[in-house]
Amino acid sequence: MPNKLDINAFMDGLQRRNPGEQEFHQAVRDVFETVIPFVNYNKKYLDARILERMTEPDKTVVFRVCWEDDDKNIRVNRGYRVQFNNSIGPYKGGLRFHPSVNLSILKFLGFEQTFKNSLTTLPIGAGKGGSDFNPKGKSDREVMRFCQSYMTQLYQHIGPDMDVPAGDIGVGAREISYLFGQHKRITHKFLSVLTGKGLEFGGSLVRTEATGYGNAYFATEMLQQHDIDIKDKRCLVSGAGNVAIYCVEKLLQLEAVVLTLSDSSGTLYAKDGISKEMLEDIKQYKFEARKSFSEFPKNKQYKFFENKKPWHIEADIALPCATQNEIEKSDMKAMIKNGIIALSEGANMPCTSDATKLLRESDILYAPGKAANAGGVAVSALEMSQNSQRLSWSAEELERKLREIMQNIHSQCVKNGGDGKQTDYVQGANIAGFIKIAEAMLAYGIV
Ligand code: NDP
């Protein structure tokens, strides 16, 4: 039995067991750098090999997804569901449809989800899934046929008390509806097997907005904790999907000034700030027309920086809401030079390891994704509660609950985030998330 764990030795073993899974290695190192010192002082976790057990998913399913495109070609994609850890509740976490999807990315996301879901204090385990299918440029019918085929494989692995997926990149209301319709058709049952559903068939108010709103709430709490007001602060937001758009919506309600949004074609920059009216136009453009910013109508209120990210623009707060590793070392250097005071992650693991290192060495207040973007999964859990009770709560009630959950996550981070003059939110979130899962795993014995 080891007396002490060492991060490098632990990572050597993990890399040997999971060759080539770079994103997964990165996520585990990021979390365990702060958890290992804690575990070394708590021998019960060490003896029970909790860290080794936590990094091995409970179960992974990989399957073929065949579908027919509009030109009658047969297309083949790969589908996945990684059921990471159900110690504290049914597996819960999104489905991602994007060409970059592979096992490494899903394992990193599932691992992060374990800590995030624990932090919400709600009874939800962790999973993640998806496919390398690219919904971009596909017709509605093609997306429907793909979703039906994907669910035909997935349905035997999910259930209201087993595993309840939701959306993520490339999986929004349209995809969730097709997936739910197919599940109902195959099983002849109307079951709460997905969240993010339409309001007509068991969806929850505020679920769509929850991740973005939650991120803005968390940033506000973190700033308040350090006597800073978010009002009039200039914000850089990346992405133009579900998380980014609703993060901007809440930031505007909180009277912050949002300078940017971005997508895979580049950055849209409004030097005087994006107004509520502009945001409505952008919503229509991204969610209805599903077009890229490179074709956005020219207007003197905006500049478009092709193939550029927002991070070189002068501002006060950064809220990355697009994808993993979107902030590299040079981007972080630019932000530090420009005097950014806070960074709050809407996306999962948006900073590369090098960028995170620089960030953690700086004075910038840093809210990691597992804390700052937990609002989405929290309201998903509230959707499950409403489905069980067969009732719906009002938008006001749900927003109040969301705000309280984000405040509670913030308090847990402060409590476990060291006693320096500035809270270490990374340490706080990792340790608070870890304790609940580890205690449940210990209680179950050797399983
Ligand atoms: P969406 O698919 O709705 O939006 C993603 C946005 O990011 C799009 O605007 C997309 O551009 C842009 N994007 C994706 N990849 C890149 C890239 N490589 N470079 C530049 N831009 C890129 O996804 P979500 O908003 O749901 O998710 C965004 C992030 O938030 C992800 O990291 C996700 O895991 C995380 N998250 C999501 C939650 C949710 O509830 N949806 C919950 C918690 C975390 P384009 O428009 O050109 O495709």
* CA distance linking residue 113 with residue 110, whole number of Å: 5
Specify the ligand 1 atom closest to the Cα of 210.
40
Please give the distance, rounded to the nearest whole angstrom, from the Cα atom of residue 363 to the centre of ligand 1: 27
Residue 198 resides in a domain: no
In-domain check, residue 368: no
CA of 192 to the centre of ligand 1 (A): 25
pLDDT tens digit string along 56-108? 999 999 999 999 999 999 999 999 999 999 999 999 999 999 999 999 999 99
Residue 407 lies in a domain: no
Handedness of CA 331, 335, 338, 344 (dihedral sign): positive
The reply to whether 16 falls in a domain is no
Could you tell me if 348 and 318 lie in one domain?
Answer: yes
296 lies in the same domain as 162: no
Give SS3 for 10. helix
Choose one of 115, 131, 169, 345 to mutate for the ligand 1 pocket test, by most ligand atoms within 8 angstroms of C-beta.
169
Same domain assignment for residues 66 and 160:
yes
Q: Are residues 294 and 260 in the same domain?
A: yes
* 167 and 215 fall within a common domain: no
Tell whether 108 and 222 lie within a shared domain.
Answer: no
241 and 322 housed in the same domain: yes
Residue type, 49: R
User: With 90 as the cut, is the pLDDT of residue 308 above it?
Assistant: yes
Q: Give domain status of residue 380, yes or no.
A: no
Angle between helices 276-283 and 242-253 (to 10 degrees): 170
Nearest residue (by CA) to ligand 1, atom 15, is: 323
* Residue 438 included in any domain: no
Structural domain of 181 = 59-191
Among 197, 232, 172, 220, smallest CA distance to 319 is for 220
Planar angle of CA 255, 260, 265, nearest 5 degrees = 155
Instruction: Give the residue among 375, 378, 380 at the shortest CA–CA distance from 196.
Output: 380
> How many structural domains comprise the chain?
2
Ligand 1 shell residues, CB under 6 Å: 94, 167-170, 172, 211, 239-244, 263-265, 292, 321-323, 326, 346-348, 373, 376
> Considering 336, 361, 386, which residue would you say is the last residue of a domain?
361
Residue carrying structure tokens 């580049």: 266
Residue type, 339: G
Residues 250 and 134 in one domain: no
Cβ-proximal residues to 130 (8 Å cutoff; 6+ apart), any chain: 79, 80, 94, 95, 96, 97, 98, 101, 106, 168, 170, 171
Would you state the structure tokens that stand for residue 391, as one six-digit string? 């009732």
pLDDT, tens digit, 9 for 90 and up, residues 227-265: 999 999 999 999 999 999 999 999 999 999 999 999 999
Residues 401-423: pLDDT tens digits?
999 999 999 999 999 998 777 89
Q: Which mutation among 112, 208, 243, 291 tests ligand 1's pocket best, with the greatest number of atoms within 8 A of CB?
A: 243
| Model pLDDT, residue 419 | 79
Nearest CA to ligand 1 atom 20: 264
Q: Residue 287 has what DSSP assignment? A: I
List pLDDT tens digits, range 127-182. 999 999 999 999 999 999 999 999 999 999 999 999 999 999 999 999 999 999 99
Nearest to 78 by CA among 59, 56, 103: 103
Would you name the residues annotated as active-site residues? 128
Distance CA 435, CA 419 (A): 19
Count the neighbouring beta carbons within 10 Å of the beta carbon of residue 55: 22
Task: Report phi then psi at 93, rounded to 5.
Answer: 165, 160
Distance 240 CA to ligand 1 centre (A): 7
The answer to whether residues 187 and 214 belong to one domain is: no
- CA-nearest residue for atom 4, ligand 1, is 241
Tell whether 275 and 168 lie within a shared domain: no
Model confidence at 1: pLDDT above 70: no
**In this structure, is residue 20 part of a structural domain?**
no
CATH code of residue 140: 3.40.50.10860
**Two tokens, residue 350:** 């948006």
Which DSSP state fits 284? I
pLDDT computed for residue 3 by the predictor: 82
Residue 130 domain-assigned?
yes
Both 223 and 173 in a single domain? Answer: no
C-alpha 408 – ligand 1 centre gap (Å): 25
Rounded Cα distance between 74 and 63, Å, is: 16
Instruction: Tell me how far the alpha carbon of residue 424 lies from the centroid of ligand 1, in angstroms.
Output: 26
321 and 179 co-located in one domain: no
Atom of ligand 1 nearest to the CA of 265: 47
CATH code assigned at 306: 3.40.50.720
Contact between residue 318 and residue 335 where contact means Cβ atoms under 8 Å apart: yes
242, 260, 267, 284, best to mutate for ligand 1 pocket (most atoms within 8 Å of CB): 242
Residue 55 CA, ligand 1 centroid: distance in Å: 25
Nearest-angstrom CA–CA distance, 131 and 157: 16
